[in-house]
Structures are given as structure tokens and as C-alpha cells.
């Protein structure tokens, strides 16, 4: 039985003061929720403050990205040991990073390996564009992203990661995949490919979140699906009431 996991991706929103206020609000509203693993992923400048605000609570902190080298001349990047000081999780390969910042399956794979080597838990994003969806290419495309992401990663390490299936056309648009479609794609393009790469036990151990316009009113429908183990939430994670309702709907 996989424990539900709901993570909030705050994207490029919130100053340190605003992020601290949001984290403090969530710490209160989600206190005592133990049936769901919870994480919030603030912008890098707020990681320290949010991690201090959430200290000793049931809400973990994640970074939104990191580089794969441990240190050096990589202006503007943050390294795994720096993330490890402040966070438990790191989002890797979000579609916005693939679309706007040149992230590829190869860089995603390097970052996953770096996260695992430094004891940071990756949340790996995959998902197809509207064009690929309409052309019936979703299963092949997402399956290819899975093969790229897991290249050279052992079954023992693979079993510890989280995947977020996020159809790009559903992110920030108010559109969602139907729960049934998302469930079928996760089965065919993700778990069946993981069985091919590893084995049944590894494929069944990995938690797969759905992401793309998850809101308080639709979370229950997604979590009811056999293959969906939680959500990666963008816009609705910026409001205490909405994120709290989503987490509670995932219990
Ligand atoms: C996301 O940022 O990963 C996301 C799913 O955003 P939203 O919930 O706003 O669609």
C-alpha cells in the first residue's frame, strides 16, 4: 500500500516574508494530518526560512530544481549539498524547466543521480504536450521520458523516488486529464515501463502523483484511482485553505 503524497510547487511566487506566512498557516491547518505525506517547494531564496518555519512539523520542504555538480563555477545554480541542508525533496524535470530552461531527459537523469547520491528525494516530472496528446503519442512519449530518467539507476534507488505525471496542457490551465485517463496513462506509460526496466515490486513501490490543475473539488476523484498516489499542486498550493483541503481530500 503506497502512502498518499501531496506536494505544493510554489513556482516563482512569494518573497521570504510571504513564504514564511504561508508555511506558518499550513503548519497550523495541517497539524495532526498523518495519513498523507506533505511537502511544500518554495523558491530557492525562501528555502531556509520555510524550513525553519516548518521545523518539527508534518510538512517537509522541497527545492524546485538543482544542479548535478556538488560545487564549482556554475553561476546561478544551487548544488545538492546546499539543497540537502534545507530540504528533503527536490522537483526535477518540471515541464516549465524543460520548456524554458533547456532541461532534457539527459540533464534530468544527471540530476536524479545527484539527488540520490546526496540523500535528497527526487520528485520527477513527466508529461506530454497537447499536440502529442492529440496525436496519440502520449504513452510512447511519457514511456521514453521514464526510460531516460531512470537510465543507470538501480532498482533499490528507483523504488525511493516519486514521479509526477503532469500533462503539460493541464498545468495552470484549469483543464485536467480525466482521472480515468490519467490512471490509464500512469499504468501503461509509467508502471508497465518500470516493470520492463526493473520488476513488479519496484514498479509497485514507486509513488506516482497526478499534476495539472488539481483543486479542492477534484482531488478526491484523482486519489480514488488505483495508480494515483497523490498530487503535485501548483496554483492551489499558494492558498492555505485550498492546499489544506486538497491534502485532506487525499486521506
Ligand atoms: C505544477 O506546477 O506542477 C502544476 C501542476 O501546476 P497547477 O496545479 O497550477 O496546474
pLDDT in tens, 35-53: 999 999 999 999 999 999 9
Give the Å distance between the CA of 94 and the centre of ligand 1: 10
Pocket of ligand 1 contains residue 95 by CB under 6 Å = no
Q: Clarify whether 166 is annotated catalytic.
A: yes
The CA distances from residue 238 to 26, 104, 230, in Å, are: 10, 28, 17
**Residue nearest ligand 1's atom 2 by CA:** 234
pLDDT of residue 58: 98
Name the pTM for this structure: 0.97
The larger pLDDT score, comparing residue 4 to residue 177, is at: 4
Cell of 119: 540523500
Question: Cell numbers 486538497 correspond to what residue?
Answer: 246
pLDDT for 199-221, tens place per residue? 999 999 999 999 999 999 999 99
Tell me the C-alpha distance between 113 and 193, whole Å.
19
Tell me the C-alpha distance between 186 and 167, whole Å.
11
**Cα–Cα–Cα angle for 202, 205, 206, rounded to 5 degrees:** 95
pLDDT of residue 1: 82
Kindly give the number of the ligand 1 atom that is closest to the alpha carbon of 91: 3
Give the Å distance between the CA of 195 and the centre of ligand 1: 28
If you average pLDDT over residues 70-95, what whole number do you get? 98
pLDDT of residue 182: 97
Kindly give the number of the ligand 1 atom that is closest to the alpha carbon of 211: 5
If you average pLDDT over residues 151-159, what whole number do you get? 98
Pocket of ligand 1 contains residue 171 by CB under 6 Å = yes
pLDDT of residue 234: 98
**Residue nearest ligand 1's atom 6 by CA:** 234
- Average pLDDT along the chain: 97
Amino acid at each position: 500500500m503506497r502512502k498518499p503524497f501531496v506536494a505544493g510547487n510554489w513556482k516563482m511566487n512569494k518573497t521570504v516574508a510571504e513564504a514564511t506566512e504561508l508555511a506558518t498557516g499550513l503548519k497550523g491547518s495541517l497539524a495532526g494530518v498523518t495519513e498523507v505525506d506533505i511537502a511544500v517547494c518554495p523558491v530557492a531564496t525562501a528555502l531556509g526560512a520555510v524550513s525553519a518555519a516548518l521545523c518539527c512539523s508534518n510538512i517537509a520542504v522541497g527545492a524546485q530544481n538543482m544542479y548535478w555538480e556538488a560545487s564549482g563555477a556554475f553561476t546561478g545554480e544551487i548544488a545538492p549539498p546546499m539543497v540537502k541542508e534545507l530540504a528533503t525533496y527536490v522537483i526535477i524535470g518540471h515541464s516549465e524547466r524543460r520548456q524554458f530552461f533547456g532541461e532534457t531527459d539527459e540533464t534530468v537523469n544527471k540530476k536524479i543521480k545527484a539527488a540520490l547520491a546526496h540523500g535528497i528525494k527526487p520528485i520527477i516530472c513527466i508529461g506530454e504536450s497537447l499536440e502529442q496528446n492529440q496525436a496519440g503519442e502520449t504513452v510512447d512519449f511519457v514511456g521514453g521520458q521514464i526510460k531516460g530518467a531512470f537510465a543507470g539507476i538501480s532498482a533499490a534507488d528507483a523504488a525511493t523516488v516519486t514521479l509526477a505525471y503532469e500533462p503539460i496542457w493541464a498545468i495552470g490551465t484549469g483543464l485536467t486529464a480525466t482521472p480515468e485517463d490519467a490512471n490509464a496513462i500512469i499504468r501503461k506509460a509509467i508502471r508497465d515501463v518500470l516493470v520492463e526496466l526493473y520488476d513488479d515490486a519496484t514498479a509497485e513501490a514507486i509513488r506516482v502523483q497526478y499534476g495539472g490543475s488539481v483543486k479542492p473539488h477534484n482531488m478526491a476523484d484523482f486519489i480514488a484511482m488505483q495508480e494515483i498516489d497523490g498530487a503535485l499542486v501548483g496554483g492551489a498550493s499558494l492558498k492555505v485553505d485550498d492546499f489544506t483541503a486538497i491534502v485532506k481530500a487525499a486521506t
